Amino acid sequence: MRTRLLSLALCVAAAAPAQADVVTDWTGELLESVRVLRPAPPVASRQMALTTTAMFDAVNGVVGAYRPYNVSGSGDPEADAAAAAATAAHDVLAYLYPARRAHFASRLASDLAAIPDGPAKSLGLAWGGAVAAQAMAARDGDGAATALSYEPPEGAGWWAPTPPAYQEIPALPHWGGVRPWGVERAARFRPPVPPSLRSPAYLAAFREVYELGGSASTLRTADQTAIARFWADGPGTATPPGHWLEIALQLSADHGLTLAENARLFALLGVAVADAAIIGWDSKYAFDFWRPVTGIRSASGDGNPHTRKDVDWTPLIPTPPFPAYISGHSTFSGAAARILALFFGHDDLAFQTTSGDLPGVVRSFSSLSAAAEEAGQSRIYGGIHWQFDNVEGLRAGRLAADEIFAQHFRPAVPAAECVSTATEICALGRFLIRADWSHEGLDPQPASAIVDTEQAGRFWFFDAANTELVIKVVDGCDFNQRFWIYLAGLTTLDATVEIVDTVTGAQRRYHHTAGSNFAPISDIEAFATCQ
């Protein structure tokens, strides 16, 4: 029912005239800066996260609708939220893009001129500046500027410099070590090892990209060629993560989102694409897998009697200078599409989007996931990725989005009474725990609760004799000033566990996506609410 109510509310909002606000306007300024100054996609994604989370905290510190992301304290409720958001965005972007400071100053002056002078405006300016300073300080030393020497292994299957530039040192080998924005650890999303060069899976991927991804392919259709170029998102565009922010700008306008809703939407999306970059680059340099152009031109040495060497084979679009597995584009797309689906309450949102690489071309989609899958597949049509790069990238991105949406930018929860009920467990006299489950598109259903001890309990979905989830809360305040959460399960259904500290209102959410075995959770950083 909650999903339907959210969808209904957004549909009603969509009937109102679309109206931009300072969050969407400054997101546009961010994307234009990316187009003009051309940072690499992972670097651009970090800039997206820093700008959007600062705007979120600036707005939320005044409105107070959600739990803060990065700030301690809050702004004055009498402050002007638009002035705060514009100031925060200005300060962050001026720091990130010093060459455009004059432009940003002019834009801020224009925004502030539209806000009446007075205490509210002054309070908003002060709060926005304070938020930006905290946001930038929080990312100091996050690993983005850390130099890392890199020597790729040699031999079949390993990455090697690719044409046309044959760049000896691949790009951003350190990026997998950047501190994540929303997920706990990037390595948790690392995929299985790529297929063996002698495996049927590798052979199938080899044949697919060889036949469809070459510049001289006679089997690739005109539409497949258009897809490859449409989603190329190369230098001078908003980049692959930025393309999804462009899509979000359109969806925001379509649904008439408020200032606070936009602040939350773009912060969720900024964090998701930033973590997608970290997860993708962690995998790339964990496996150092070769690109199709290398694998095809060196096929005689791969040990597979069914592959064919072709020294003249060239991909349709230029190969980026870093390892293949997993596809960054697919990881960005999987994460962004899932965040948008979770935010709007459903995946089947019809929309259109344009391309920075093919001006004037518009593609239409019946769902967010369909767009993500086409974006991922575009890299095979472009000849720069294997199919398993795409599949595992989409999967990792979606899983990361589930975790980010469950943990961050949640509605503010006031302190409440902690009492165990038929569907809730009160642990340690303060942590109220509930679980929901769903299956094949059904609305989430509350799980039934069983209290075992003061610390622990279980949840069942269908039969009390067969519990699906077991949870325990441990007081670790004497060890690391945290309350710890241990969670295990035996289910392949969608399941979400929500825990609220009724003393402080702090909350944690853990989500398990249908179709996989439940991975045990040991979260010893769960609640920093010791007193």
pLDDT tens string 360-409: 999 999 999 999 999 999 999 999 999 999 999 999 999 999 889 888 99
User: Region 144-151: what's the mean pLDDT?
Assistant: 89
pLDDT surpassing 60 at residue 13:
no
Backbone angles phi, psi at 289, to 5 degrees: -80, 145
Residue 399 within any structural domain of the chain = yes
Task: Enter the tokens of residue 61.
Answer: 């510190």
Q: 364 and 232 share a domain? A: yes
Q: 247 and 367 share a domain? A: yes
Number of other CB atoms surrounding residue 153 within 10 Å: 9
- So what's the pLDDT on residue 11? 36
Number of H helices, E strands in the chain: 15, 12
Q: 206 and 311 share a domain? A: yes
Q: 289 and 364 share a domain? A: yes
Residue 2 within any structural domain of the chain = no
Domain end, chosen from 407, 433, 454, is at 407
Q: 399 and 497 share a domain? A: no
Closest CA to 282 of 407, 148, 136: 148
Q: 449 and 358 share a domain? A: no
Omega within 30 of 0 (cis) for the link into 326: yes
Residue 153 within any structural domain of the chain = no
- So what's the pLDDT on residue 1? 28
- So what's the pLDDT on residue 498? 93
Domain that residue 97 falls in: 15-138
Element of type H or E holding 28? helix 22-37
pLDDT tens string 154-204: 999 999 999 999 999 999 999 999 999 999 899 999 999 999 999 999 999
**pTM check: above 0.85:** no
Residue 445 within any structural domain of the chain = yes
Angle formed by the axes of helices 239-255 and 259-287, to 10°? Answer: 160
**Which domain CATH number covers 328?**
1.10.606.20
Residue 4 within any structural domain of the chain = no
- So what's the pLDDT on residue 414? 67
Domain end, chosen from 345, 377, 407, is at 407
∠ CA 35-241-285 to the nearest 5 degrees? 110
Residues 87/93, Cβ–Cβ less than 8 Å:
no
Looking up tokens 């258009």 gives 226
- Give burial (CB, 10 Å; 0-12/13-18/19+) of 155: exposed
User: Region 4-21: what's the mean pLDDT?
Assistant: 42
Q: 79 and 204 share a domain? A: no
Looking up tokens 């398993």 gives 388
Q: 39 and 134 share a domain? A: yes
**Nearest-angstrom CA–CA distance, 234 and 35:** 9
Fill in the amino acid letter for 205.
A
pLDDT surpassing 80 at residue 320:
yes
Q: 403 and 497 share a domain? A: no
Q: 36 and 104 share a domain? A: yes
**Which domain CATH number covers 68?**
1.20.144.10
- So what's the pLDDT on residue 416? 74
Backbone angles phi, psi at 162, to 5 degrees: -120, 155
Residue 155 within any structural domain of the chain = no
Q: 208 and 101 share a domain? A: no
- So what's the pLDDT on residue 17? 36
Q: 361 and 239 share a domain? A: yes
Residue 396 half-sphere exposure toward CB, CA atoms < 13 A: 34
pLDDT surpassing 90 at residue 413:
no
Domain end, chosen from 372, 407, 442, is at 407
The domain tally of the chain equals: 3
Mean pLDDT of the chain: 93
Looking up tokens 């239409």 gives 364
Residue 504 within any structural domain of the chain = yes
Angle formed by the axes of helices 239-255 and 328-344, to 10°? Answer: 20
pLDDT tens string 457-474: 999 999 999 999 999 999
pLDDT surpassing 90 at residue 481:
no
pLDDT surpassing 90 at residue 443:
no
Residue 38 within any structural domain of the chain = yes
Backbone angles phi, psi at 475, to 5 degrees: -80, 100
∠ CA 173-177-178 to the nearest 5 degrees? 105
**pLDDT tier for residue 415 given thresholds of 50, 70 and 90:** low
CA dihedral 388, 392, 395, 398 (to 10 degrees): -120
